[in-house]
Amino acid sequence: MPTRKVLTVASSEGISVDIPYFEVIGQRQGPTLTVLAGVHGAEYTSIAAAKEFVAQLDPSQVSGKLVVVPIVNILGFWARSAFVVPADGKNLNRSFPGKADGTFTEVLAHHIFQNFIVGSDYLLDMHAGDIPEALEPFTIFEESNVEDRSLVMASAYGLAHVIRQSTAVRVVAGSTCASAADIGIPAIIAESGQNGVLDRNAIDIHLAGVINLARTLGVLDGEPFAPRPLTTHDGWHWLRTNRAGWWNPLVATGARVKAGELLGTMSDLWGDVFAQITAPEAGTLLFQTSSPAVSADGLLVGLARD
């Protein structure tokens, strides 16, 4: 049985949470792999896959060390909140490496970073499309001096699309993955699932990915599966609306689109279209907001560059 442990995180504002996690110390030498899930507390497929990964683990098959934190953002999980930590409304995956004496999300990021990311040889952070978000499975890694090993991790996870984020066009700053890469730890974010649905197929995709990753890194016994075809994308565009309105998406998630292709429209509450959202260049639509209600500066589409 993996050892059950608890990390307590308390901020100076008086908020305190207990975060359950699992640890397996292998009887043979090997690297340390840390697996995070639930950084966004309503991305249930990633949480379910982390839980199932632990439940089916045989510690005698582990070399090195395996740490699994199924729900990092406990407050977001209980509140069913999309993207943010309800204590202060901040997005945990934009807050790393955190602050020892900040608001609750910054303090949480600091403790997760110091206790789980620092000291790891490899970091996997599992996500999904959040409650208002449709998503095609993909992995992300950051430009860094360890990016070759991050790409090995992404390939081992086995999803069809891999995005390399250069530091120059880092659309997501303060992520787990970026903070790890910045201190020389190979890391990926893996995404499967969408819309707050506990979808069996999306969980299985994550579960197969984490098992194959652990085998590829030598943390878990067993032969990795044969390499799968993947498309590597050099960065992406995150398309937003500057004005709040009704979002009407016109292209299916996962579709390849041409430069200039119409992806959807924004209209006001009278029904008058005020913006046509088009592809700035050719690419693959990996996620999009599925809820029509989008606020000013709201995110609409994640378009991976071809």
Of 40 and 149, nearer to Zn ion (C-beta) is 40
Minimum CB distance to Zn ion smaller for 40 or for 233: 40
Q: How far is the CB of 94 from Zn ion (least distance, A)?
A: 11
Report in angstroms how near the CB of residue 43 gets to Zn ion at its nearest.
5
By C-beta, is 57 or 177 nearer to Zn ion? 177
d(CA 188, CA 205) in angstroms, rounded, equals 15
CB of 43 or CB of 88, closer to Zn ion: 43
206 lies in the site for Zn ion, by CB under 5 A: no
Interactions with Zn ion, residue window 244-263 (CB under 5 A): none
Minimum distance from residue 46 beta carbon to Zn ion (Å): 8
Residues in the chain: 306
Selected range binding Zn ion among 8-16, 17-25, 38-46, 67-75, rule: CB under 5 A: 38-46
Separation between Cα atoms, residue 245 and residue 294, nearest integer Å: 6
The interface region with Zn ion, picked from 2-10, 35-43, 151-159, 283-291 by CB under 5 A, is 35-43
* Among the residue ranges 43-51, 232-240, 253-261, 290-298, the one whose residues contact Zn ion (CB under 5 A): 43-51
What is the nearest approach in angstroms of Zn ion to the Cβ of residue 138? 12
Q: Which is closer to Zn ion, CB of 82 or CB of 219?
A: 82
Q: Which amino acid is at 87?
A: A
The nearer residue to Zn ion, 59 or 254, going by C-beta atoms, is 254
CB of residue 127 vs Zn ion: minimum separation in angstroms?
Answer: 3
The answer to the question of residue 40 lying near Zn ion (CB under 5 A) is yes
Minimal distance in Å, beta carbon 42 to Zn ion?
Answer: 9
Total interface residues for Zn ion by CB under 5 A:
3
How many other C-beta atoms can be found within 10 angstroms of the C-beta atom of residue 80? 12
Nearer to Zn ion by C-beta: 43 or 106?
A: 43
Find the shortest distance in angstroms from Cβ 205 to Zn ion: 15
Specify the amino acid at residue 144: S
Contact between 90 and Zn ion per CB under 5 A: no
Report 97-156 residues binding Zn ion (CB under 5 A).
Answer: 127
Residues 6+ positions from 157 with CB-CB distance below 8 Å = 124, 139, 188, 190, 209, 210, 212, 213
Cβ distance to Zn ion smaller for residue 46 or 216 = 46
**At closest approach, how far in Å is the CB of 230 from Zn ion?**
21
Site residues, Zn ion (CB under 5 A):
40, 43, 127
